[in-house]
A and B are shown apart, each in its own frame.
Chain A
Amino acid sequence: MLEILLDATVRAGTPILFATLGAIINERAGIINLGIEGLMLIGALSGFAATFASGSLLLGVLAAFVAAFIAGSIHALITVQLRGNQIVSGLALTMFGIGITALFGRGVVGQTIDGFERHAVPLLAQLPLVGKAFFNQDWLIYFSFLLVALIWFFFYRTRWGLELRTIGENPAAADACGIPVNRYRFLAVACGSGFVGIGGAYLSLASTPMWIENMTAGRGWIAVALVIFASWSSFRALFGAYLFGGITAMQLRFQAMGTTVSAHILQMLPYIFTIVVLVISTIRLQKGASQQPGNLGLPYDREDRK
């Protein structure tokens, strides 16, 4: 029973995990991206469409990354190059994503593909309790584990990561050291968006291998909130995403068991729970030193004095 619940937790948490990781990369560079929800949808549809057309899941994932990368580049262009308002641009990107996927998704509604299958990792899958949940999963989930570690490694063990973090904290300091601020920021926003797109593709290629209009159902917004809950750390993002996933899995079980509580209330639970945890954790953060990148949300203009 617990094993099944844990398994459902990981599967429900993974799309949010990808989205949160992507958003963390954005925000570490100092750019707020409220377009996550839209980017997930774009990823979900292009991933599904590419797999549907080619029959290859790998191509689907690549298509999701590339499409979200391109859509994220619009946000990057507006906020980095043109120094536009990041909130407005991000919200517009979400609207754009919802609209365009509804439009182009009509052609593939009701179609099905063969989604990702489980592959057990030898030995590890035999572990009691966690073995099945974490090591008898599909390739995308294994990739998400890898990504969590890679992002941490990138930020704290590579020169590029250090430079990117510096840009998010104080772009003028980075600029004075000869680091090309705008180029880094652009790439961070675009690549981060690409990972968000893979999060969307997980929904349409693994969770439910089909395209449903607006199938992200607000998960992108949860990711936006989780970034803060995770205090911009990829490992904490993993925890946050699985927390949301866990509650989702649990409420589905309750529904299946046929409780008298209204399904609508149960469906609210993951969202409420995540918000409550978020509030509590930010109160805690305010007491200690905040991890928020110092220049988050501010455009960088070399000729402006800060």
Chain B
Amino acid sequence: MPDLLQLTHIRKTFPGVIALDDVSFSIRAGEIHTLLGENGAGKSTLMNVLTGFYAPDSGGLQLDGQPVRFASPRDSLALGIGMVHQHFMLVPAHSVLENIMIALQGVPLLFSRRQQRARIEQTIEEFGLDLDLNAPVWKLSIGAQQWIELIKLLLRDCRLLILDEPTAVLTPQEAAKLFQVLLRLKQQGKCIIFISHKMREVMEISDRVTILKKGRSVTTLEKGEFDQKKLAGLMIGGDRIPEWQKSLPFSEEIVLEIENLSVRNDRGLADLDNFSLRLQKGEILGIAGNGQKALAEALTGLTRVESGRVLAAGEDITRSCARSSYIAGIAHIPEDRKAIGIVPDLSLDENLILKNFRAKCFRNGVFQSRSAIRDNAEEKIGQFAIKAGPPGSPVRLLSGGNIQKVIIARELSEQPAVLVALYPTRGLDIGSAEYVHKVIADGASNGMSTILISEDLDELYKICDRIAVIFRGRLIGYADPTSSSRAEIGLMMSGEVSA
């Protein structure tokens, strides 16, 4: 089949950073082409070059054999190249309808809302989504926001669709739904560039895989030439995957007790309903099923608790705010990292000490100790393999996965008694995900208890001592990852069996 698009020797630098060194690869008509690479390898940058967001320093693009230059995303859209960005391009204050309409083609200057709405509703129904078109986007969950972005792209008539980590915030069921759509588009002869760190998905959907490492394209493999091991090896290259061991049996001591907790969401529905849970010292407790997020928010004080109590070491912390729950030892890795995880304009060094900037070791009397803060950053950069820009540059310039690492490094710096980890490995490459697991497991050996909330059953199976299953906001029961099968947990999650 002919190549639809060819990239030759693309290079892109930012002040102090070589984001893309030398990248060449090509995309054929009617294929799903996966880009694989570590956090900060340059995947998003490359896609931004491809859509005209970034102007490359050198190198060229060829579409259908003709050289093209994109001065702006407008040019690339005109030639049928559309993209879902890793960081959402949405207007939080606008309604879902307005956000989608802005991306539609052929909306007349004076449009009829009713007509546009009907057109959009039809697509939403096709995907079986539950989206209120009048709701402002800031009220929606991050998964719903991802769907809005996908719908924006799918409603456009594009030849080449670029999806930058679309599945990072989707549940496995939602991802499966997306893949059906992608396969259908492929059959229609469209090309798709897909980016993900989830190996299972990459294996499932890719026709070809191109591996990017440190801004260079390493190789492109055809279907059948690769398996998970080989891809991981190529992606990581010389780097080592950290090794860890699960902690020893934990003690009987109870560090956190949740009694009959009820939480309602904006719509007045119960996210948690008389939910009770006990966490033992040194335990890694996984949480599966819906209502996970409400639990994390209630524990960290981000949501109002309707009734019930949370006891930390026997002390009632239900009504204390986020900061005092942290003192009780609950650290928090927020879900929406760009919105609440970091201060975008502060530097990496500063973001790493947001929680403990008052500590003695970062001060000289009333002044900050720049050198201590810098040393702390150096240490964290090394430990978590953060790909940082030039010192002092704002943290928002980092790649998505690296921002996630900054948050984790900061949250774990205090050695909390209880760690509430909400999707901690979302968007991390396999090496980094492994490192986060290692930190959690090592923490457990030192007596830290973890509540690990994840959509990914593989992850829960791998590191949890117990898995608590929630259904309709109630605790259905606990499952033991060493003895219960996935099918059993699946049944529990759908509320059919209790363990």
Pair A166/B73 contact, Cβ less than 8 Å: no
Pair B89/A159 contact, Cβ less than 8 Å: no
A170: CB under 8 A from chain B?
A: yes
A177: CB under 8 A from chain B?
A: yes
Task: Give the dominant DSSP class at B's interface.
Answer: loop
Q: Contacting B74 at CB < 8 Å: which of A165, A172, A180, A291? A: A180
Contact stretch, chosen from A58-66, A272-280, A298-306: A298-306
Q: Would A289 and B93 be within 8 Å (CB), given that A163-B102, A173-B102, A178-B74 are in contact?
A: yes
A209: CB under 8 A from chain B?
A: no
B83 — which chain A residues lie within 8 A by C-beta?
A: 176
The 0/1 profile, CB within 8 Å of A marked 1, for residues 75-93 of chain B is: 0011000010101011111
Pair A175/B94 contact, Cβ less than 8 Å: no
B85 — which chain A residues lie within 8 A by C-beta?
A: 176
Kindly report which residue of chain A lies nearest to residue B77, judged by CB atoms. A178
B108: CB under 8 A from chain A?
A: yes
A172 — which chain B residues lie within 8 A by C-beta?
A: 89
B103: CB under 8 A from chain A?
A: yes
Kindly report which residue of chain B lies nearest to residue A170, judged by CB atoms. B91
Which residues 2-20 of B have a CB within 8 angstroms of A? 14
The 0/1 profile, CB within 8 Å of A marked 1, for residues 277-292 of chain B is: 0000000000000000
What is the minimal beta-carbon distance from B19 to any residue of chain A, in angstroms?
11
A180 — which chain B residues lie within 8 A by C-beta?
A: 72, 74
Interface residue tally for chain B (C-beta within 8 Å)? 34
B110: CB under 8 A from chain A?
A: yes
What is the minimal beta-carbon distance from A291 to any residue of chain B, in angstroms?
8
Q: Contacting B53 at CB < 8 Å: which of A169, A289, A294, A302? A: A302
Q: Contacting B89 at CB < 8 Å: which of A162, A163, A173, A305? A: A173
CA distance A170 to B74 in the complex (A): 16
The 0/1 profile, CB within 8 Å of A marked 1, for residues 217-244 of chain B is: 0000000000000000000000000000
B111: CB under 8 A from chain A?
A: yes
What is the minimal beta-carbon distance from B331 to any residue of chain A, in angstroms?
26
Kindly report which residue of chain A lies nearest to residue B54, judged by CB atoms. A303
Pair A302/B72 contact, Cβ less than 8 Å: yes
Pair A294/B91 contact, Cβ less than 8 Å: yes
Which residues 282-299 of A have a CB within 8 angstroms of B? 289, 291, 294
B53 — which chain A residues lie within 8 A by C-beta?
A: 175-176, 302-303
A148: CB under 8 A from chain B?
A: no
Q: Would A166 and B110 be within 8 Å (CB), given that A176-B73, A176-B85, A177-B103 are in contact?
A: no
Pair B344/A306 contact, Cβ less than 8 Å: yes
CA distance A289 to B110 in the complex (A): 28
Among B55, B73, B344, the most chain A Cβ lie within 10 Å of the Cβ of B73
A157: CB under 8 A from chain B?
A: yes
What is the minimal beta-carbon distance from A160 to any residue of chain B, in angstroms?
6
Which residues 413-455 of B have a CB within 8 angstroms of A? none
CA distance A109 to B124 in the complex (A): 65
CA distance A26 to B55 in the complex (A): 29
A158: CB under 8 A from chain B?
A: yes
A291 — which chain B residues lie within 8 A by C-beta?
A: 93
B396: CB under 8 A from chain A?
A: yes
Which residues 83-118 of B have a CB within 8 angstroms of A? 83, 85, 87, 89-94, 98-99, 101-103, 107-111
A-B contacts, 5 listed (Cβ < 8 Å): A158-B110, A159-B108, A173-B91, A176-B53, A176-B85
Q: A165-B98, A304-B397 are in contact. List 7 more A-B contacts (CB 8 A).
A: A157-B111, A159-B111, A162-B101, A165-B94, A166-B91, A170-B90, A303-B14
Binding site for B on A (CB under 8 A): 157-160, 162-163, 165-166, 169-170, 172-180, 289, 291, 294, 302-306
- Smallest CB-CB A-B distances: 9 pairs: A178-B74, A173-B89, A169-B91, A178-B77, A176-B89, A177-B103, A170-B91, A159-B109, A305-B397
